[in-house]
Structure 1
Amino acid sequence: MDPSDFADVLTSVREFVREQVVPREDEIEETDQVPAELREACKAMGLYGFAIPEEHGGIGLSMAEEVELAMELGWTTPSLRSLFGTNNGIAGQVLLTGGSPEQQAEWLPRLASGEVVASFALTEPDAGSDPSSLTTKAVRDGDSWVLSGAKRWITNAPFADVLMVFARTDPDAAPARGISTFLVPTSSAGVSFSEHDAKMGQRGSWTCEVYLDDVRVPAENLVGGEEGLHRGYVTALKCLAHGRLHIAALCMGMAARLVHETVEFATQREQGGHAIATYQLVQGLVADSVTDWHAGRALVREAAKAYDDGSDKVTGPSTAKYFCSEAVGRIADRAVQVHGGSGYMRGVPVERIYRDVRLFRIYEGTSQIQQVIIARGALGKAARS
């Protein structure tokens, strides 16, 4: 994208987030949903397709551009970004990474416009950090595939139009080699959902369990369109790597908001006749948070450049996701500490953000999984012997 055009995109998103979404954060928290008019505004701005190439109706941002956008989106409740995060991220990337030309032509323009919402159905009750252990199965039956199993904590599933379902198609293959991905419309017979989950934070972002009871889909719904390749596991890993960089950037956007709220409070709150900003122990907390924020932001930008030029699409995203998700948790904790008792009260932004950011150390690969990926990248065969 032309730099001036991208600058306009960032400006528009920044103004939308700060002028229209931030004033409604309490409403979103209270009602557990993003207002319809904000959803429609996101569609009109092209946010449902920011990572989808222009030839498929999206904005076509590079990863370096995407992380800048994510940092702007991070200024407010993560439930806003979650609305269109799956279309651009882990679900949309399934089609971009492994879809056939025909599948891309059919689905990507609809994802980019927001006409269709897609969900990434990988996690299961007993297959989270290790997706190779998933048990959902798909069996070929004539010109169809029949899917059976259950998925857990699937973002946007309650109002999704299509699921990217990962299922075992070769039960005799090694765990990571017998998995394929299927396009499963949620209107298909046998697809059902639980009530949406009640979570610690990120209210307004809905997840639920998905049940697949002998769901029959046409053979052409196999992502990639070629039977026998079983590329689902590799596709999942590639999609997750992209998502990790995006989440890292989102964390740094939230870190920026937390630093802002901390500084604002410290300069206005008085104790002993002075603003608490004059006390060096408070200054130390602020300094540590600013340092974490700057370090994480630099790491995200460097990792995004390496992702774009193809030199590192594995370790870089993991280091960024690991550091930034942990860092924003530390920053949120310090923000509550500086706020004192008021930071523990509902209705104060840092209390909500404290709960919201905790999830980032868990989904799209826990911090411990990122440690394993990073260590194996550094140690090579020695880590696997």
Structure 2
Amino acid sequence: MTSVDLLDLDSALTEEERQIRAVVRQVVDDRVRPHVAGWYETGQVPARELAREFGKLGLLGMHLTGYGCAGSTAVAYGLACLELEAGDSGVRSLVSVQGSLAMYAVWRFGSEEQKQRWLPAMAAGEAIGSFGLTEPDHGSDPASMASRARRDGDDWVLSGSKMWITNAPIADVTVIWARTDSGVRGFVVPMDTPGVTAREITRKMSLRASLTGEISLDDVRLPADAQLPGATGLKAPLSCLTEARHGIVWGALGAARDCLETALGYATTRTQFGRPLAGFQLTQAKLADMAVEWNKGYLLALQLGRLADAGKLRPEQVSVGKLNNVREALAIARQCRTILGANGVSGDYPVMRHANNLESVLTYEGTSEIHQLVIGQRLTGISAFV
């Protein structure tokens, strides 16, 4: 298979980063690619089994330190996300939500007791986590969340609902964000707590190899120590989203690469009018433009990863990466579909599956419009959110 790397990008990686990438690519080739078309078609995925396998490889919370986490670099984590999403966006979402949202929230804001109880099991894939911020009526505007937590003696009582929550149908624990009399707070909620119910969202046309649910909280009583002591205000969950978006910046490149490699292979072997599709100027122009955008997106992701490893990454910089790389990945998937013609909509090829998945990736953890406003505020010094 011809490489889409036009710029000798591997030379910018360390040997350890290349080795980690190779390990993840192999597990995706062995464990995901042979089955993912069927998972997508049926809307079923062996998430718990995959989580245990990923846990054995150290992929869950891999960029965190201690508590059974691998303590890898941000770039290594990004490369892992790229390879996972080359298999399927839903598989990468399983790892991202587990590590960069649920585990990260506990790791950064939790008490030592919370960390000891949950993080080792989550790192091993023995406990599945989810992250409850989005609500049925409040997606891009989490400041307007309707979920409430009130004190009752020493306890907390939570009520409300969360929507579009990855891993919720099988989660053992969810980090729930709710409004209190003193602002937004986070709570570690075991999913077997009385009053908690999770309903799987079905009939999805995207991310079908990912389990998504709605969580209902009906006067859920929690002890005082369920609150994340370090999480005060809306900045806490937003910082978790920034952490997860970094993985998306890389992951979208994986879906785009898989589409581009598929289109390259197809164009060089499919003959029309007595010559391969790749021999036509219009096809080469499409392939060239897509490869250039992919390489630019990779350089952007690598720069953000290096900034993260240096402790210098800012939220608006992540917005640049999420806006550009997901938008371009979706454009690449759509263009690759045209090269495959009618075969582009067949489940025998991954292109339409990636395109459908990227429609969700374009929306979740900040729509393109939200990231444009974040960047616009950085450029102008004026907030256009209100």
Q: Is the deviation greater in 104-113 or in 2-11?
A: 2-11
Q: Is the deviation greater in 338-347 or in 273-282?
A: 338-347
SS of the equivalent of 1:187 reads coil
Question: 2:67, 2:362 → 1: CA distance?
Answer: 33
Which structure 2 residues correspond to residues 71-110 of structure 1 after superposition, within 5 A? 71-110=82-121
| Counterpart residue identity of residue 212, structure 1 | L
1:39 Cα shift?
4.2
1:384 Cα shift?
7.9
Question: How many equivalent residue pairs?
Answer: 373
Q: For residues 39 and 180 of structure 1, do their structure 2 counterparts lie closer, same or farther at Cα, with a shift above 3 Å needed?
A: closer
Which structure 2 residues correspond to residues 237-248 of structure 1 after superposition, within 5 A? 237-248=238-249
Question: 2:203, 2:384 → 1: CA distance?
Answer: 39
Q: For residues 188 and 383 of structure 1, do their structure 2 counterparts lie closer, same or farther at Cα, with a shift above 3 Å needed?
A: closer
Kept in 1: contact 2:51–2:125 (CA 8 A): no
For structure 2, the residue ranges without an aligned partner over 5 or more in a row are 1-12
1:121 aligns with 2:132: yes
Question: 2:303, 2:237 → 1: CA distance?
Answer: 23
Aligned to 2:314: 313
1:323 Cα shift?
0.3
1:223 aligns with 2:228: yes
1:48 aligns with 2:43: no
Aligned to 1:328: 329
Q: Deviations over 1:232-271 (max 9, x none)?
A: 4111111111111111100011111111001001101111
Aligned to 2:72: 61
Q: Deviations over 1:210-249 (max 9, x none)?
A: 1000000010011016xxxx61411111111111111110
1:107 Cα shift?
1.7
SS of the equivalent of 1:214 reads strand
Aligned to 1:260: 261
Please point out which of 2, 5, 8 is paired with 2:19: 8
1:192 aligns with 2:197: yes
Question: 1:78, 1:316 → 2: CA distance?
Answer: 22
Question: 2:50, 2:200 → 1: CA distance?
Answer: 23
1:210 aligns with 2:212: no
Question: 1:352, 1:167 → 2: CA distance?
Answer: 35
1:6 Cα shift?
4.5
Kept in 1: contact 2:94–2:166 (CA 8 A): no
Q: For residues 127 and 357 of structure 1, do their structure 2 counterparts lie closer, same or farther at Cα, with a shift above 3 Å needed?
A: same
Kept in 1: contact 2:85–2:91 (CA 8 A): no
| Counterpart residue identity of residue 22, structure 1 | R
Identity %: 36
1:183 Cα shift?
0.6
| Counterpart residue identity of residue 235, structure 1 | A
Please point out which of 171, 182, 187 is paired with 2:187: 182
Q: Deviations over 1:46-90 (max 9, x none)?
A: 22231331x210111221221111112122112222333222111
Kept in 1: contact 2:177–2:187 (CA 8 A): yes
Question: 2:325, 2:17 → 1: CA distance?
Answer: 24
Kept in 2: contact 1:97–1:238 (CA 8 A): no
1:278 Cα shift?
0.8
Aligned to 2:300: 299
Question: 1:327, 1:198 → 2: CA distance?
Answer: 27
Aligned to 2:285: 284
| Counterpart residue identity of residue 216, structure 1 | R
For structure 1, the residue ranges without an aligned partner over 5 or more in a row are none
1:37 Cα shift?
4.9
Question: 2:322, 2:185 → 1: CA distance?
Answer: 26
SS of the equivalent of 1:194 reads strand
Question: 2:112, 2:383 → 1: CA distance?
Answer: 40
SS of the equivalent of 2:86 reads coil
| Counterpart residue identity of residue 323, structure 1 | N
Which structure 2 residues correspond to residues 368-383 of structure 1 after superposition, within 5 A? 368-381=369-382
| Counterpart residue identity of residue 282, structure 2 | L
Q: Indicate the RMSD between aligned Cα atoms, in angstroms.
A: 1.9
Question: 2:89, 2:45 → 1: CA distance?
Answer: 11
Aligned to 1:250: 251
Q: Deviations over 1:123-181 (max 9, x none)?
A: 011211011000100001111100000111111000001110000012xx6xxxx1000
| Counterpart residue identity of residue 42, structure 1 | F
| Counterpart residue identity of residue 32, structure 1 | G
